[in-house]
Chains A and B, each alone.
Chain A
Amino acid sequence: MSTVLLEEEMTDTPAAPARLLSAGPAAPGQEAAWEQFTKIPLPTRTDERWRFANVKDLDLSPYLQPQPVDETTREELLARSRGLEKAAGRMVFANDQLLSREVLSESLTRLGVVWLPLEQALVEYPDLLQQYFMREEAILGGQKFAALHASQVRTGMLLFVPRGIEIDLPVEAFHWLHGANSSCFPHTLIIAEERAKVTVVDYYESADTNAPGLACAVNDLWLGAGAQVTYVCAQNWSREALAFQINATVVGRDAQARSLFAQLGGRHVRSESVSHLRGPGGRSDMLALTVADNAQEVDARTFQIHEAPNTSSDLLYKNSLDDAARTIFSGLIRVDPGAQMTDAYQKVRNLLLSDDAEANSAPGLEIEADNVRCTHGATSGQIEQEELFYLMSRGISKRAAQKLIVNGFLQEVIERLDQPEIGARLAEMVQAKFAAHR
């Protein structure tokens, strides 16, 4: 591990941070990505893949390259990195620097599990990265931001779980964004071989809940035959952050992927999530919950691609919107010609707590096989007056009753995770967001 090197870097007096747009690639080898980033124009209003989105919000000029944090900040952020009571391992990053890596279970390494910060993995396991690192193209409109990520990524988590190995406890990573207008590029790469099983939780946090900043994350999940991977991304960037998340999940034969994106922070959040059902019998559960208030915009694009027969996908996205918040859901199900017996489901629910909130939903189907079952639906509604009256008639104040109902609304998503400890942590984060509101 490069702990020594890291500490040397951190005691250096930091140079004035460069603006991201004039910074160039972060390191040699990332030039091609940088060139691609500069070549692709910013999305425009007329781009179908950015329909409904407020594209004026995507200006990247204010943001700076990430700077190492000082020792005091390091201690503070480590103390604030409160994850689950029990985890198999935990990495903490701030501004794309590894602050700590706690291995709670050494025996996993002996079984062949590789769990390394990306820069170290690049040296020790170049073949793995060659084979899996950003191998699925961003196809939902975020190419420019994927290229930006590829040109700037410095670290992140690589987790390789070999054939037949099950990791019982979740593996965690914290990504902190620190400093006004700072940027960061979190990366998570999970490779689960045949029958491997693992759960990973990423926490995205800002040191200062009001600081503007840019986060551009990529997380890719690769599931071999019969593998089971649960991935949770708890996004809680500052309320002034511009954030991108680009996810690709590749599901092999009889494998089961389950992902949950909790969207709490950010001023403007763009999330793209693609499930490739590549092996027969594969299944992907795609979950998301959003609590948006004030002028937040949470823009989610999804793609369930059934490439093989007998595959299933089940998407459930729930948004709670208050004040003048906006959400966008645009989700496509595609069934390739050979993918008979596909079972695809997509459900979006929006709960509007304010007349000024706006929820846009655009589900879509592209089916090229004839023996399939595909269902989709999107609904928007307000809290039912009768539910509110029922709770209030028990003495519960209107505000508390609304919170209970919203929590209940989101609970369905959390329960689908089927991981009570993580679910409780997520519920806590939702509570904290409610408590901070108004």
Chain B
Amino acid sequence: MSSLKIQDLHVRIGEKEIIRGLTLEIPKGEVHAIMGPNGSGKSTLSKAIGGHPDYTITSGDVLLDGVSILGMEPDERARQGLFLAFQYPMEIPGVSNANFLRAALNSRQSEGEEIEAVDFYEHLYEEMDKLEMRREFTSRAVNEGFSGGEKKRNEILQMAMLKPKYAILDETDSGLDIDALKIVSAGVNAQRGPNIGCLVITHYQRLLDYIVPDVVHVMVDGRIVRNGPKELALELEEKGYDFIKDALAEPVSA
């Protein structure tokens, strides 16, 4: 029951079907990776699960600990314990990172209650230190003028502060140099444990050297075509996606 379960999901953008019957289950405590070539629908999957209004789910279901989240607004899904780390985090001019995070945490409090400012900053600074983020990031506008690496660190900081049950990390390695990649990966690894399930979406195997998955899924044309242990990622790296595409038999389910 404690899992993020995606059942035979079909997703359209406009008239075009992008996800075409995808099934996947991430039990709490595990890290799964989805690898796939560009255009396979990886990012669509994360946005659709998050509840982005541009993505229409035509059939299938997404269950968070056994409860369907498809009828929920994006904010409600988040409060149920879902977290998306964005490939391209948005810049929000004029809204400080600290105010943004406080608003996010306050949204999880019961009506009329707010988190204590002192506790908040203590917690925030502790998590920022882990990600080697300077204090000035609290007063800077959300992601505005941040470098690629700073934006990704900021995503992981939010994840650490919000303590989700399930996190989907969409191309977290894109735009990162090796040092930033190590810091971000360490940030994710520090959060691994029995209380969280992670789905790491990536095009390259490189990230999986640092965030070592329990299971690897290969996605092609909106479906999972292969499941395997972490070594599968290495095989893909070596042989390329064409090898999978060529050998593509019937779609499999996880």
Among candidates B50, B84, B90, residue contacting A387 with C-beta atoms closer than 8 Å: B90
B-contact 0/1 string along A393-407, CB 8 Å cutoff: 111111011001101
Question: Does chain A have a CB within 8 A of B89?
Answer: yes
Q: Chain B CB within 10 Å — which of A384, A391, A400 has the most?
A: A391
**Chain A 400-435 interface residues, beta-carbon cutoff 8 Å to B:** 400-401, 404-405, 407-412, 415
Question: Does chain B have a CB within 8 A of A390?
Answer: yes
B-contact 0/1 string along A363-405, CB 8 Å cutoff: 0000000000000000000001111011111111110110011
In the assembled complex, the CB of B61 is this many whole angstroms from the nearest CB of chain A, namely: 20
A-contact 0/1 string along B128-144, CB 8 Å cutoff: 00000000000001000
- When C-beta atoms are compared, the residue in chain A nearest to B103 turns out to be A396
Residue numbers in A under 8 Å from B104 (CB-CB)? 394-396
**Chain B 11-61 interface residues, beta-carbon cutoff 8 Å to A:** 50-54
Question: Does chain A have a CB within 8 A of B248?
Answer: no
**Contacts A385-B53, A405-B95; A398 near B75 (Cβ below 8 A):** yes
Measured in the bound complex, the distance between the Cα atoms of B95 and A390 in whole Å is 13
Q: Is the interface of A mostly helix, strand, loop or mixed?
A: helix
**Contacts A386-B90, A404-B95; A395 near B53 (Cβ below 8 A):** no
Q: Is the CB of B78 within 8 A of A393?
A: yes
In the assembled complex, the CB of B86 is this many whole angstroms from the nearest CB of chain A, namely: 7
Measured in the bound complex, the distance between the Cα atoms of B162 and A277 in whole Å is 52
Question: Does chain A have a CB within 8 A of B79?
Answer: yes
**Contacts A389-B53, A395-B162, A404-B99; A412 near B74 (Cβ below 8 A):** no
**Contacts A387-B90, A390-B90; A408 near B107 (Cβ below 8 A):** no
Measured in the bound complex, the distance between the Cα atoms of B50 and A385 in whole Å is 14
In the assembled complex, the CB of B57 is this many whole angstroms from the nearest CB of chain A, namely: 15
Q: Is the CB of B103 within 8 A of A400?
A: yes
Q: Is the interface of B mostly helix, strand, loop or mixed?
A: mixed
Measured in the bound complex, the distance between the Cα atoms of B83 and A392 in whole Å is 11
Q: Is the CB of A404 within 8 A of B100?
A: yes
**Chain B 78-122 interface residues, beta-carbon cutoff 8 Å to A:** 78-79, 83-84, 86, 89-90, 92-95, 99-100, 103-104, 107-108
Q: Is the CB of A412 within 8 A of B94?
A: yes
- When C-beta atoms are compared, the residue in chain A nearest to B104 turns out to be A394
**Contacts A391-B92, A404-B100, A409-B94; A397 near B75 (Cβ below 8 A):** yes
Q: Chain A CB within 10 Å — which of B50, B84, B86, B95 has the most?
A: B95
Residue numbers in B under 8 Å from A397 (CB-CB)? 75, 107
Measured in the bound complex, the distance between the Cα atoms of B104 and A401 in whole Å is 9
**Contacts A394-B162, A395-B107; A411 near B95 (Cβ below 8 A):** yes
In the assembled complex, the CB of A420 is this many whole angstroms from the nearest CB of chain B, namely: 11
Q: Is the CB of B74 within 8 A of A389?
A: yes
Measured in the bound complex, the distance between the Cα atoms of B77 and A80 in whole Å is 42
Among candidates B50, B95, B103, B141, residue contacting A393 with C-beta atoms closer than 8 Å: B50
Q: How many residues belonging to B are interface residues under a CB distance threshold of 8 Å?
A: 29
The size class of the interface chain A forms with chain B is: 20 to 34
Question: Does chain A have a CB within 8 A of B73?
Answer: yes
In the assembled complex, the CB of A406 is this many whole angstroms from the nearest CB of chain B, namely: 9
Residue numbers in A under 8 Å from B77 (CB-CB)? 393
**Contacts A393-B50, A398-B73; A411 near B162 (Cβ below 8 A):** no
In the assembled complex, the CB of A397 is this many whole angstroms from the nearest CB of chain B, namely: 5
In the assembled complex, the CB of A413 is this many whole angstroms from the nearest CB of chain B, namely: 9
Q: Is the CB of B92 within 8 A of A405?
A: yes
Measured in the bound complex, the distance between the Cα atoms of B108 and A389 in whole Å is 17
Q: Is the CB of A408 within 8 A of B78?
A: no
Q: Is the CB of A410 within 8 A of B90?
A: no
In the assembled complex, the CB of B166 is this many whole angstroms from the nearest CB of chain A, namely: 13
- When C-beta atoms are compared, the residue in chain A nearest to B158 turns out to be A394
Residue numbers in B under 8 Å from A401 (CB-CB)? 75
Residue numbers in B under 8 Å from A411 (CB-CB)? 93-95, 141
B-contact 0/1 string along A271-299, CB 8 Å cutoff: 00000000000000000000000000000
Residue numbers in A under 8 Å from B100 (CB-CB)? 391, 394, 404
Residue numbers in B under 8 Å from A400 (CB-CB)? 103, 107
Q: Chain A CB within 10 Å — which of B53, B77, B79, B104 has the most?
A: B104
Among candidates A392, A395, A396, A412, residue contacting B93 with C-beta atoms closer than 8 Å: A412
Q: Is the CB of B73 within 8 A of A404?
A: no
Q: Is the CB of B95 within 8 A of A395?
A: no
Q: Is the CB of A407 within 8 A of B95?
A: yes
Residue numbers in A under 8 Å from B51 (CB-CB)? 392-393
Besides the known contacts A394-B78, A407-B94, 19 further A-B residue pairs in the complex with CB atoms under 8 A apart: A387-B90, A389-B74, A393-B83, A393-B86, A394-B107, A394-B158, A395-B75, A395-B78, A395-B79, A395-B107, A397-B75, A398-B75, A401-B75, A404-B99, A405-B95, A407-B95, A408-B95, A408-B141, A411-B93
Sort A-B residue pairs by CB-CB distance and give the 8 closest, nearest first. Answer: A408-B94, A411-B94, A408-B95, A395-B78, A390-B90, A394-B104, A392-B74, A392-B75
28 contacts between A and B (CB under 8 A): A384-B90, A387-B90, A387-B92, A389-B52, A389-B53, A389-B74, A389-B90, A390-B90, A392-B51, A392-B73, A393-B50, A393-B83, A394-B78, A394-B103, A394-B158, A396-B75, A396-B104, A396-B107, A397-B107, A400-B103, A401-B75, A404-B92, A404-B99, A404-B103, A405-B92, A408-B94, A411-B93, A411-B95
